[in-house]
Amino acid sequence: MGTNQQRREAAKRKLERQLARRAERAKRRKIIGIGAAVGVVVLAAGLIVVFTGQDEDEGAANAQGEASSSAAPSDNAAPSEDVSIPTQRVEPVERSEPLPNPTTCEYPENGQAAKQVNAPNGQNVPSEGTVDITLSSTAGDIPITLDRSLAPCTVNSFESLVEQDYYTDTACHRLGTQGLQMLQCGDPTGQGSGGPGYTFADETHQGLKYGRGILAMANAGPDTNGSQFFMVYGEAELPPDYTVFGSISDEGLKVLDKVAKAGHDGSLDPSPGGGKPNTEVRFTDVSING
């Protein structure tokens, strides 16, 4: 067994290698957007890395004042036997006070669209009722329900993108299987950097929580929502920074469980964690039901 000094030096060299890999990834801007739970800490021979949930390009907390952290917990590629998925759904998210109905939304232009679409009409947007949508994919159908009472501007945008076939023939680009169990989708480029050419504000609120069955928006910081979203099939101890706008059906969760158990390629380790799912999830059709 080495001395404490040798262990510290070995840990430092390991951290330096990790930072070099992160710096290389930072050359490509990605809207990873789903950060780690605040307070997740890795201890290695006195070096402390705190995963804070910031975007990869914005940096994060430091280790010993000099190490930039990652955007999500490290999530090594996982074969089926390594993935433990809870079966219990989280309780449905609700607002303590209803929003004005109708409401007004703003969708300012932002960046180049990954796929050309028109921004939605933000006038007289309803904040009551639900919308049922089926995400037909190469892995199976994933029915979801959007809830206007939670996030009317988000639902309005999602409906508009569906109606313009924005999501059709797009593949989900990030699967997390450890710590943060979710599938992230909604980028036509498949790289995690694409959006619809506009953004809109967060619709978060007190008491927001994440877990099995939750549908939420990915982002690159406050009020940077676009087209990317994530579907939680298991654990997700996240800060309340991601707009929840609906839920996933039991049928859809079965599909996500199957995809999760097949693992991912680890291409996004160690920052932000996870990787491209080994089982492709490409949306062959996305349709509003009824």
State which amino acid sits at residue 197: G
pLDDT at residue 22 in the model: 56
CATH class of 81-288: mainly beta
Query: pLDDT class for 271, splitting at 50, 70, 90?
Result: confident
State which amino acid sits at residue 171: A
Q: Which has the closest alpha carbon to 23: 62, 65, 69?
A: 69
Mean pLDDT of the region 18-33: 53
* pLDDT single digits (tens) 248-264: 999 999 999 999 999 99
DSSP 63-82: STTT----SS-------GGG
Q: Which residues contact 244 (CB under 8 A, 6 or more apart)?
A: 93, 150, 151, 204, 208, 210, 214, 215, 216
Rounded to 5°, the CA angle 133-134-137 comes to 145
Q: DSSP code of 206?
A: T
pLDDT at residue 207 in the model: 85
Matching residue, tokens 């009409």: 121
Query: pLDDT class for 4, splitting at 50, 70, 90?
Result: low
Beta bridge partners of 247: 145, 214
The rounded percent of the chain whose pLDDT value lies above 90 is 68
Matching residue, tokens 């449905």: 92
Distances (CA, A) of 257 to 125, 169, 177: 34, 21, 10
* pLDDT single digits (tens) 277-286: 999 999 999 9
Total residue count of the chain as it appears in this document? 290
* pLDDT single digits (tens) 52-95: 233 333 332 222 222 222 233 234 444 444 799 999 999 998 99
Contact 31, 192 (CB under 8 A): yes
- Tell me how crowded residue 182 is: count the other CB atoms within 10 A of its CB: 30
Beta bridge partners of 48: 43
Please report, for the chain, the start and end positions of each structural domain, with discontinuous segments joined by +: 4-58, 81-288
* pLDDT single digits (tens) 134-143: 999 999 999 9
